[in-house]
Structure 1
Amino acid sequence: MAGPYHNPPLPNLRISPIVIVPKKEVDGYRIIHHLSYPDEVSSAETRSQNQTDTSAQKSVAYLKSEAFALIKASVSSNTQHTYAAALRSFDKFRHNHKIPLIWPVPVDDILCYIASMSRKAFASSTIAQHLSALGRHHKINSWSDPTENLLVRKCMQGYRNSAALVSTPDARHPITIDMLKRLPSALQAICMSGYEACLFAAMFNLAFFAFLWIGEIAFVTKMNQDRTLKLADVGIIAQAVHVKICFSKNDQHGKGTTLIIPGKSNPTIRPVRSLSVYLSLRSAQPGQFFIHLNGKAVTRYQFSAVLRNALQFLNFHTQNYNTRSFRIGAATYAATQGIPHELLCIWGRWKSAAYAKYIRINML
């Protein structure tokens, strides 16, 4: 390479010195280019390069981990739990039928799984949920989605068509205004203390007049405990109950909404007074709004059990009622009062015509 140069002509240019070294076989010396000179610098550069490579690998691994965490967060925690349960159910099905546990899943395996759920009379919505979990698992792993195969879609369409011919109507009855009036006296008879009677009376009234889902007022799972109504979310302002719903079934991103229950919602039941009495007895402990005297949150199981016992005390057939009966009752009552459908959707936080399924005037 012709020179001289004031600056290195190439990046990372390395110049090896000319040195004299002893010959191995005979006496004397020979001239060489010392290509590994200096040894210490060479080793240091190698170590530095290795450290740089390792650091880069760790950085990429961290970024991949962060990306997968963001993908996971694209669905709600409840949906994650549901999908995980669906994948476990599918693997159990394959294990029981000695089907290889391979991914991506062959279309034939999906068809057999649908057939298995069909024989167990699963609801078409439940089967669709399982397929949604399988489809998402394939997509996030960059695999071809077998649930979008034509045969799978036709199989599901056939199941929906056959299920529609034998489907039975939802037998859940609405909690009526008359029942809501009578429930407090039943609670006084079945509950262990006056505090517990006031607690569940307030829960029943709020569930009805605020069109609440059970997961919004009672502890269901550890995954939803942060989304249950808190003490700071409820207040009584100008003789009206203000309830802030931070998360709900139709609001998974936490935009939140505030519900207002006027003091004159129903003069015979007086839901505002019921909430006021409960608040006067409740401790100032922060956290879940509805708690027992020992500070523990009311669970869905406890809510259901007390409702069932109270209805039995009043001689109602308990198999016709569950936690959603309050929401059904609220929608039905609003419809009988001539509330416009647009306003009813706002109160119940419905985003579609699904509200119509909750109106059951024929069951009053």
Structure 2
Amino acid sequence: LWHGLAASTRKTYSTGQRQFIIHAQLNGLYNPDGSILPASEPAILSWVAHLGGRVQPKTIKAYLSAMRSLHVDGGLPFTSVESPLVQRLVRGIKRYHGERDRKPVQPITLPILTTLLAQLKPGTIPGDTTTYAACCLAYSGLLRSGELTVGKGGKYSASLNLSRRSVQFLPTFADATHVRLTLPASKTDPFRKGVTITVAAAPGQLTCPVAALKALFIETPRPDDAPLFEQLDGQALSYSHFVKSIRNALSLAGLNPEIYAGHSFRRGAASAAAAAGYSDYEIQLLGRWRSDSYKLYIDNDPNRILHLSSLLHVAFTHLAPFEPPALRDFTAMA
């Protein structure tokens, strides 16, 4: 039962669950038998009203999902979250307090990636070969930061994280035109069947992921079960270390490092694909998205929008109402 949810999900849920229990204790919102669970509708309403204006409406909804999970774990009935009163209260909070705009990390587009890589000196400065290869692969493979690194406090496992075995150079190491990367576990692969993605080489380009990985394998040979990316201390590349490394390089390039993070590569590659005219299906395929959520990652080019707007003034207007070709010269039967 415990493993029915990912450890990261349980960690996220624990925040909302803990806040409800504290609120119930402070306000004496106990059941007649003195228990807090199952949560009563008045207790949930009091808690949600307390959260209004303090956290985002979407956070309140996430907290309610956390409470539902807590009841499922305990085999307890929990219908309060589906209550029309609770739903209307959440909607009222959103209408009254509003919802702040998202402030996602900015995309690392190809020009920014090239600028970032120019600050690194692989083969000269220790650790730069790893950072260089990780950046190229993150962009080219549209990788999630959790697929590339080990999370805070996490321990490396070859069955969960990228290892040297995860990379296969094809057709050969010497003449590789692409790599086949196997992700042992990912967000859309909860049962750890493994997901294989193909990443093409970009011969002659600074951003070529295949060349960067080959340089890494040559400079620091490791056993097959060793982490694909390692820090100078020999530990698997952590998220915090990776972000610190790219921000240092961005700072050297004169860019604001605080607006970029590990997910910036995935967002930048998705935006580049959209700007290049890739179809929705192709972008979802590259990024392994199962829904339209990929659209949240795409930044629309202001120049493109300006161009489309200008075309409205020169668009050709049909003198006659448009009708499909199949209906032209159609004679109805009596």
Bigger shift: residues 126-135 or 217-226 = 217-226
Tell me how far apart the structure 1 counterparts of residues 218 and 207 of structure 2 sit (CA, whole Å): 18
Aligned to 1:28: none
Aligned to 1:107: 41
How far 1:210 moved relative to its partner?
Answer: 0.6
Aligned partner letter, 1:144: P
How far 1:251 moved relative to its partner?
Answer: 1.8
Q: Secondary structure at the match of 2:151?
A: coil
Bigger shift: residues 236-245 or 225-234 = 225-234
1:97-134 deviation line (CA, Å, top 9, x unaligned): 555562111222212222333232x2333222221121
On the 8 A contact 2:56/2:99 being kept in 1, the answer is no
Tell me how far apart the structure 2 counterparts of residues 82 and 171 of structure 1 sit (CA, whole Å): 19
**Of 104, 117, 128, the match for 2:51:** 117
Aligned partner letter, 2:43: D
Describe the shift of the 1:114–1:271 C-alpha distance in structure 2 as closer, same or farther (beyond 3 A).
same
On the 8 A contact 2:179/2:200 being kept in 1, the answer is yes
Describe the shift of the 1:99–1:310 C-alpha distance in structure 2 as closer, same or farther (beyond 3 A).
farther
Aligned partner letter, 1:320: I
Bigger shift: residues 218-227 or 294-303 = 218-227
Aligned to 2:228: 289
Tell me how far apart the structure 1 counterparts of residues 286 and 112 of structure 2 sit (CA, whole Å): 21
1:129-181 deviation line (CA, Å, top 9, x unaligned): 22112112223433321222221122223334456x44324353211111111
Tell me how far apart the structure 1 counterparts of residues 25 and 204 of structure 2 sit (CA, whole Å): 56
Aligned partner letter, 1:203: A
Q: Secondary structure at the match of 2:150?
A: coil
> Which sections of structure 2, spanning at least 5 residues, go unmatched?
304-334
How far 1:303 moved relative to its partner?
Answer: 1.0
Aligned partner letter, 2:149: A
1:134 to 2:51 alignment: no
**Of 2, 13, 20, the match for 1:83:** 13
Give the count of matched residue pairs.
Answer: 290
**Of 173, 188, 192, the match for 1:250:** 188
Bigger shift: residues 310-319 or 323-332 = 310-319
Bigger shift: residues 125-134 or 299-308 = 125-134
Q: Secondary structure at the match of 1:195?
A: coil
1:206-237 deviation line (CA, Å, top 9, x unaligned): 11111111111111145574432122111211
Aligned to 2:170: 237
**Of 320, 324, 331, the match for 2:263:** 324
On the 8 A contact 2:117/2:206 being kept in 1, the answer is no
Which structure has the highest helix share of the two?
1
Aligned to 2:143: 212
* Identity within the alignment, %: 24
Tell me how far apart the structure 1 counterparts of residues 95 and 204 of structure 2 sit (CA, whole Å): 44
**Of 259, 282, 291, the match for 1:352:** 291
> Which sections of structure 1, spanning at least 5 residues, go unmatched?
1-70
Higher relative contact order (CA 8 A, sep 6+): 2
1:272 to 2:210 alignment: yes
On the 8 A contact 1:78/1:223 being kept in 2, the answer is no
Aligned partner letter, 2:289: W
How far 1:264 moved relative to its partner?
Answer: 2.9
TM-score by length of 2: 0.78
On the 8 A contact 2:243/2:262 being kept in 1, the answer is yes
Aligned partner letter, 1:186: Q
Describe the shift of the 1:141–1:171 C-alpha distance in structure 2 as closer, same or farther (beyond 3 A).
closer
Tell me how far apart the structure 2 counterparts of residues 331 and 83 of structure 1 sit (CA, whole Å): 29
Aligned partner letter, 2:125: G
How far 1:283 moved relative to its partner?
Answer: 3.5
Aligned to 1:92: 22
1:341 to 2:275 alignment: no
Q: Which has the larger radius of gyration?
A: 1
Tell me how far apart the structure 2 counterparts of residues 317 and 182 of structure 1 sit (CA, whole Å): 13
Aligned to 2:311: none
1:194-215 deviation line (CA, Å, top 9, x unaligned): 2311110111111111111111
**Of 167, 171, 174, the match for 2:107:** 174
Describe the shift of the 1:170–1:288 C-alpha distance in structure 2 as closer, same or farther (beyond 3 A).
same
Q: How does 1:153-168 map to 2 (within 5 A)?
A: 153-162=87-96, 165-168=98-101
On the 8 A contact 1:235/1:243 being kept in 2, the answer is yes
Tell me how far apart the structure 1 counterparts of residues 114 and 170 of structure 2 sit (CA, whole Å): 24
